[in-house]
């Protein structure tokens, strides 16, 4: 965590200026947002996939082939789902999450698109959140796409069924091989089309379709402001790239954005 050079004040000012002058600002966030909330990246040291193995690339097809079996495997004491739930139950939003909530409350940030499934942006109080890879605290109907709080769904008979339409329920988190739920995908594409500035924090944005969103904004002449501990493939496209963790850079950036408002 010490390889980031000290933040240049000029860069912070420049980034704040770009955000302030934009008409429609959105954010795209990823795993780097959550590290300081105690959630290791899936593939990082201590990560869920590092410990339990990568989920199968055809996970969704395997789920559809035998939903009861898939639920049993995921819920087993050695399975990844219980560990994810335990990790998330202990996690709290960090100053980076809270800074984005503040930016939304000030009327600057219009929509926050996240690849994280940890619910921390909502827990921090951000209201307009599009969770492109789903939310691990929710269960979704594969038929009517209604979502339910996990605690409200009984798991004594597997697979659980939708109380509205009777179809199978699965975790709202998007499995490999599963299409992004159409309501969320439409929202993300729509927001990216409106935006003239995108704040990309804690993600190298290499997973499609999330990866396409900042490129769309940039391609239409919008500004990309990056916050990341490391250089990424987006760095050359960014108007400003701020090196550091989301938990340290975002509060400093938001403070400058809001201080300069008239
Ligand atoms: Zn349903």
Residue 44 pLDDT more than 80? no
**Residues less than 5 Å from ion ligand 1, measured at CB:** 141, 143-144, 162, 164-165, 167
Q: What is the mean pLDDT of residues 207-227?
A: 94
CA of 57 to the centre of ligand 1 (A): 25
**Range name among 42-51, 97-106, 120-129, 247-256 with the lowest pLDDT average:** 42-51
Determine phi and psi for 34, rounding to 5 degrees. Answer: -100, -10
Instruction: Return the pLDDT at 69.
Output: 95
pLDDT band of 32, cuts 50, 70, 90:
very high
Cross-strand bridge partners of residue 147: 140
CA-to-CA dists, residue 105 to 98, 109, 145, 204, 253, angstroms: 10, 8, 29, 26, 15
Q: Please give the C-alpha separations between residue 163 and each of 5, 64, 65, in angstroms, as whole numbers.
A: 53, 19, 21
Res 42: pLDDT? 73
Residues in contact with 174: Cβ distance below 8 Å, sequence separation at least 6, in sequence order: 132, 133, 134, 180, 181
C-alpha of residue 168 to centroid of ligand 1, in Å: 7
Count Cα neighbours of 195 within 13 Å in the Cβ-side half-sphere. 32
* Structural Rg of the chain based on CA atoms: 19
Residue 225 Cα to ligand 1 middle (Å): 39
Does residue 99 or residue 45 have the better pLDDT?
Answer: 99
Q: Does residue 188 contact residue 213 with C-beta atoms inside 8 Å?
A: yes
The pLDDT of residue 6 is above 90? no
Q: How far is the CA of 74 from the centre of ligand 1 (A)?
A: 21
Coil, helix or strand at residue 165: coil
The answer, as to whether pTM is greater than 0.85, is yes
In angstroms, rounded to a whole number, what is the distance separating the alpha carbons of residues 178 and 143?
Answer: 13
201, 32 contact by CB (below 8 A): yes
Rounded distance from Cα 115 to ligand 1 centre (Å): 24
The answer to whether the beta carbons of residues 87 and 47 sit under 8 Å apart is no
Element (H, E) at 49: helix 48-52
- The catalytic residues are 133
- Separation CA 83–CA 61 (nearest Å): 23
Is the confidence at residue 45, as pLDDT, over 80?
no
What is the C-alpha separation between 26 and 86, in angstroms, rounded? Answer: 30
What's the 3-state SS for 58-104? CHHHHHHHCHHHHHHHHHCCCCHHHHHHHHHHHCCCCHHHHHHHHHH
Q: What is the pLDDT of residue 5?
A: 61
CA of 155 to the centre of ligand 1 (A): 16
Give distance in angstroms: CA of 183 to centre of ligand 1: 14
pLDDT computed for residue 153 by the predictor: 94
Residue 3 has pLDDT above 70, yes or no: no
Q: How far is it, in rounded angstroms, from Cα 83 to Cα 125?
A: 25
> Distance, CA 197 to ligand 1 centroid (Å)?
36
Do the Cβ atoms of 253 and 227 come closer than 8 Å? Answer: yes
pLDDT at 49 over 80: no
147: CA distance to ligand 1 center in Å? Answer: 8
């Amino acid at each position: 965590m010490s390889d980031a050079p000290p933040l240049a004040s000029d860069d912070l000012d420049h980034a704040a200026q770009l955000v302030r002058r934009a008409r429609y600002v959105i954010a795209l966030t990823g795993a780097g947002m959550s590290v300081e909330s105690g959630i290791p990246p899936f593939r990082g040291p201590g990560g869920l996939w590092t410990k339990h193995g990568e989920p199968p690339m055809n996970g969704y097809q395997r789920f559809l082939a035998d939903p009861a079996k898939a639920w049993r495997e995921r819920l087993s004491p050695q399975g990844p789902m219980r560990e994810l739930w335990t990790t998330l139950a202990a996690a709290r939003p960090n100053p980076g999450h809270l800074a984005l909530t503040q930016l939304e409350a000030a009327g600057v940030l219009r929509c926050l698109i996240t690849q994280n499934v940890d619910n921390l942006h909502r827990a921090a109080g951000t209201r307009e959140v599009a969770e492109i890879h789903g939310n691990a605290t929710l269960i979704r109907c594969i038929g009517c796409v209604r979502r339910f709080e996990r605690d409200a769904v009984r798991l004594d008979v597997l697979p659980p069924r939708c109380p509205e339409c009777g179809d199978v329920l699965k975790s709202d988190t998007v499995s490999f091989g599963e299409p992004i739920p159409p309501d969320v995908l439409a929202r993300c594409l729509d927001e990216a089309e409106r935006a003239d500035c995108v704040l990309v924090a804690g993600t190298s944005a290499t997973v499609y379709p999330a990866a396409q969103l900042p490129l769309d904004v940039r391609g239409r002449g919008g500004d990309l402001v990056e916050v990341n501990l490391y250089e990424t493939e987006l760095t050359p496209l960014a108007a400003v790239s701020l090196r550091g963790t989301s938990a340290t850079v975002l509060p400093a950036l938001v403070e400058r954005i809001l201080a300069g408002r008239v």
